[in-house]
Amino acid sequence: MFKRIILASSSPRRQKILKTLFENFEIVIPQIEEIHDDDAIHTVEKLALLKALNVFDKVKDAVVIGADTVVEIDGTILGKPKDLCDAESQLCKLLGKWHSVHTCVAVVSWGEMWLKTQTARVKFRKVPKEVVKYYAQNYSLGKAGSYGLQDFGGVFVESIVGDPYVVIGLPIADLWEYFYRKGWWSSETKRTDDEGWF
């Protein structure tokens, strides 16, 4: 087992997911500017890697996990909303339509970088404007596309094609497989008090 595992994220949902894999890990918030370019896949891969590298540059003796998620609809990237008005606008764009959620996980350790990107397709149902407003005011900030599958945002979702953990923001199976193949995960590292999402 590697000496230190660090999650380069301030996201509570990513922290909760990682707790299902490892009993002990540290959280260090990366200091990067999250700038989106025109290509959604390139954006998530660049930002996930930048987050991991930014933290690894400070610690060097650890395995650092970075991740990034964006929502894409009709070729437009929806990142984290700037404010409540932006959150409502993003949610309204998604109502009744299919969209893509792209998540990349980057793992950086001494002498190695690993990236894995996955896409899930999500269809939103139509909901009343009051529900959009309620959600935006209480849940949207800090979430790509202004929603999260793991909270009340699940009421928006009519259908998902792909891994739900891509939508939540940290594909647990991909991450586990990487750590398992490297010999950095065993049943002894797994928590016994994990709750899961579903």
Catalytic residue among 39, 57, 68, 86: 68
Which two structure tokens, joined as six digits, stand for 88? 């409502």
**In terms of C-beta distances under 8 Å and separation of at least 24 residues, what long-range contacts does 15-20 make, across chains too?**
16/195, 16/197, 17/165, 17/168, 17/169, 17/170, 17/172, 17/197, 18/65, 18/170, 18/175, 19/191, 19/194, 20/172, 20/190, 20/191, 20/194, 20/196
Residue 196's Cα: distance from chain center in Å? 15
Q: How far apart (Å, rounded) are the C-alpha atoms in residues 174 and 105? A: 8
State the Cα–Cα distance between residues 5 and 26, nearest whole angstrom.
6
How far is Cα 108 from Cα 198, in angstroms, rounded to an integer?
29
68 catalytic per annotation: yes
Residues marked active site are found at 68
